[in-house]
Amino acid sequence: MKTPILVVGLVIALIGIGIIPYYSETQTIAQEKAIHSDTNVWSISSYLEGGDNVTVVVRQNALWVDGPFDISDDGVTAIMYMYIDFIDPNGNTTTFEVDLAVTEVQLQLINWNMNVLEEGSIDTSSMLDDKGRLTEVGGTIPFNGTYTARVRVAPGREDQPPSFLGFYHMEMTTKHPNSYLLPTGVAIVVLGGTVSFFGMTRGKRRISRKRRKK
């Protein structure tokens, strides 16, 4: 028996055995999935399911950056006020205010501030961060039905609807990022077993040859 080769084979096999259990680890990922969307419209409607956390995604019209603008409470920042109504099947409304600020180069508007002005159709608490600040326009849908998202901006922009308006919801996806470890571990175990077997057979052959010489 060739001990060094046998030991090496056993070590390799043990490494493979140690790797295999990790293949079953799962990872849950939250992904935004589109429910319904449209382009160049002021409002959309879609059937939404109770219990879902749904957000409204609004993309700017390219002309919005040209103004006109209001001046924010700080007396300096140029602001365009956008209001988003989230209306349930019974006509109850949650209204969000999104303040879009002009960047220094005036090539785009950025979300400067978001607030809930009125809450009547959805529960917006699911969209708050640890400090109670609103992170998304949306909330938890209370019951199944057809809901409407409607965008309003300052007068004079009636011919400048958002370039995109959509309902999205968070979908939890379970993945197995380490699934490759199963075949890898098995291959390593087989390799270790092969090396060990080779070590054992080589040792036996040498012993048998010595005995024949006697």
Q: In this predicted model, what pLDDT tens digit does every residue of 54-102 receive, in sequence order?
A: 999 999 998 888 878 888 787 778 888 999 999 999 999 999 999 988 8
Residue 126 and residue 162 in one domain: yes
Q: How far apart are CA 205 and CA 24, in angstroms?
A: 42
pTM for the model: 0.67
Give the confidence band of 168 by pLDDT, cuts at 50, 70, 90.
Answer: very high
Give the residue, 156 or 142, on which the prediction is more confident.
142
**pLDDT beyond 80 at 194:** no
Distance, in Å, from the CA atom of 52 to the CA atom of 153, rounded to the nearest integer, reads 27
Q: Considering the chain, what percentage of its residues have pLDDT values greater than 70?
A: 68
Number of domains in the chain: 2
Which H or E element spans position 94?
Answer: strand 93-102
Q: Is residue 2 a part of any domain in this protein?
A: yes
**109 occurs within a structural domain:** yes
**What are the backbone angles phi and psi of residue 157, rounded to the nearest 5°?**
-115, 25
pLDDT at 58: 95
Q: Domain range holding 88?
A: 27-175
- 47 with 126, same domain? yes
Asked if the structure places residue 106 within a domain, the reply is yes
Average pLDDT over residues 129-157: 92
Q: For residue 209, is it within any domain?
A: no
Return the structure tokens found at 139: 């909330």
- 169 and 95 both lie in a single domain: yes
| Mean per-residue pLDDT, 188-209 | 61
Same domain, 21 and 67: no
Same domain, 46 and 141: yes
For residue 210, being part of any structural domain is answered with no
In a domain, 124, yes or no: yes
Task: For residues 122 and 32, give the distance between their C-alpha atoms in angstroms, rounded to a whole number.
Answer: 19
Percent of the chain with pLDDT over 90: 40
Residue 137 lies in a domain: yes
Predicted local confidence at residue 146, as pLDDT = 97
| Same domain, yes or no: 9 and 86 | no
Cα–Cα distance measured from residue 165 to residue 34, given in angstroms and rounded to the nearest whole number: 11
Do 2 and 44 have their domain in common?
Answer: no
| Least confident piece of the model among 135-144, 155-164, 204-213 | 204-213
Residues 8 and 101 in one domain: no
Neighbouring C-alpha atoms within 13 Å toward the C-beta of 46: 22
User: 133 and 52 in one domain?
Assistant: yes
Q: Are residues 47 and 6 in the same domain?
A: no
How many CA atoms within 13 Å lie on the side-chain side of 175? 11
Residue 198 confidence (pLDDT): 64
Kindly state whether residues 45 and 135 are assigned to the same domain: yes
